[in-house]
Chains A and B, each alone.
Chain A
Amino acid sequence: VDAPRDQSTRYTQLDYWTDYARRLEAGLFDGIFFADVVGVYDVLGGSPDAAVRHAVQVPVNDPMLLIPAMASVTRHLGFGVTANLTYEQPFLFARRMSTLDHLTRGRIGWTSSPATWTAPRARPASPASWSMTTATTWPTSTWPSCVRCGRAAGTKAPCCATARAGCTPTRARSAASAPRQAIQPGRDAPERAVAAAHAGAVPGRRFIARRALCGHACGVRVPQRAGATGREEAGRVAAFGSAGTGRGDDAMRVLLGATIVTGRTDAEARDKFEDYQRHARSEAALVHAAASLGIDFAKYDIDEPIPTAGSQAIVSNVEAMTRAAGRSGRAASCSSSS
């Protein structure tokens, strides 16, 4: 269904993305985050049909390729991007991130996220080991202090040399022979191991507790209705960043997602919201919720409690729904939230 005034159908045009970046920077936004999806959501009903029918995060670009263009028309806007653990190779991914770190002058961040939908299941051994490999590869090149670029003596030919003091050819060759060193762009990147956010799934909580700079607070989308829920969830996510890890209280920022519809007046905003709702489809929302929560809602009756124990997906959302619905324990009634 086409939404009025929505321009996202222009997603394959580069000027759509550069214009997007300029608008956000005009609003002094710190960053834009690309929640990437590789594959098609197929948890709801065990089929990708509904996702395709409603175009739920399909089709999408490779967001990493948009970033240099968007960075070139901005100066301050940051870029966060999902790295899908199922498909990315950590060394090559680290090279691309390090390159983006240079090209954006330190404005890049990444979210590690395993695929939670069903096909295909070629997962790495563990998200944490994948992420750690990347996190240690990105900043630890021995090349940076070796590379010096300038003009060759006596000529105007540009050259990059590794002849800085203390950097012998032997040492450079030694570094190059180690795969995780050789693939790096080879100079000090501005950020190095940049702001890593995590989508808040249970297997990631331990990892983000130790490493992440930001956490997406998935469970705080209903703070108005749920009273103290927003505060509790945000506090819990923030506490991951300090409890038992030796990190200080200031170790982490919580990114609080909010869908905002506004206008000059309350009435104008309400009219706009009603207009938007005419273009929304509940099944499309369920496709997204089923994939991110790892729950096939098609299996449950409308008022049937849904257990979350054992789920590998983003249970914080389900827990928030449970609290919002006034229930306790591990059962959630999603009929009140969809």
Chain B
Amino acid sequence: MGQPPEALVGSGTAIAQTLMDWSEQCDRRRLQPVAHRVPECFDDFIAHVIPQLQERGAYKTRYEEGTLREKLFGRARLAWTAAQ
């Protein structure tokens, strides 16, 4: 089992603040938490970080309907993709 590269370690509040700082640096990012101890790492993220992000308005509180592309871009088709 590999050692995680540069792990972010801290309370839900601290992690949420760091992620929001990242978000300010580039608004086209989506966070991709890397699985390391499954399911514990996701349970912890969901229990401790997401509520903090939601409180700050930085994470959705419910799903919108739609395809994966709609989830990522807010619309079903993107004009530039020739093969659509």
Contact = CB atoms under 8 A, between A and B. Distances in A.
B37 to A, nearest CB: 5
Interface string A32-62: 0100000000000000000000111000000
A262 interface: yes
Interface stretch (A143-151, A199-207, A242-250, A325-333): A242-250
Given A6-B38, A222-B5, A254 B30 contact: yes
B71 A264 contact: no
Chain A contact-residue range equals 35 or more
B70 to A, nearest CB: 8
A139 B48 contact: no
A41 to B, nearest CB: 11
B37 A234 contact: no
Given A5-B40, A6-B37, A259-B36, A269 B9 contact: yes
A217 B36 contact: no
Contacts of B10: 262, 266, 269-270
Interface string A104-141: 01111100000000000000000000000001101110
10 contacts: A6-B38, A28-B63, A29-B42, A193-B84, A213-B72, A213-B73, A222-B6, A235-B26, A253-B28, A262-B10
A224 B29 CA distance: 16
B7 A259 contact: yes
A269 B62 CA distance: 27
Contacts of B79: 248
Contacts of A19: 39
A70 to B, nearest CB: 13
Interface residues of B, number: 59
B3 A106 contact: no
A27 B46 contact: yes
A285 interface: yes
Interface string A212-224: 0110110001111
Given A27-B46, A55-B1, A255-B32, 6 more contacts: A211-B81, A213-B78, A223-B25, A256-B32, A257-B32, A272-B9
A55 to B, nearest CB: 7
Contacts of B63: 28, 75-76
Interface stretch (A154-162, A275-283, A299-307): A275-283
B84 A139 contact: yes
A315 B68 CA distance: 29
A107 B71 CA distance: 9
Given A225-B6, A246-B80, A33 B32 contact: yes
A223 B20 CA distance: 13
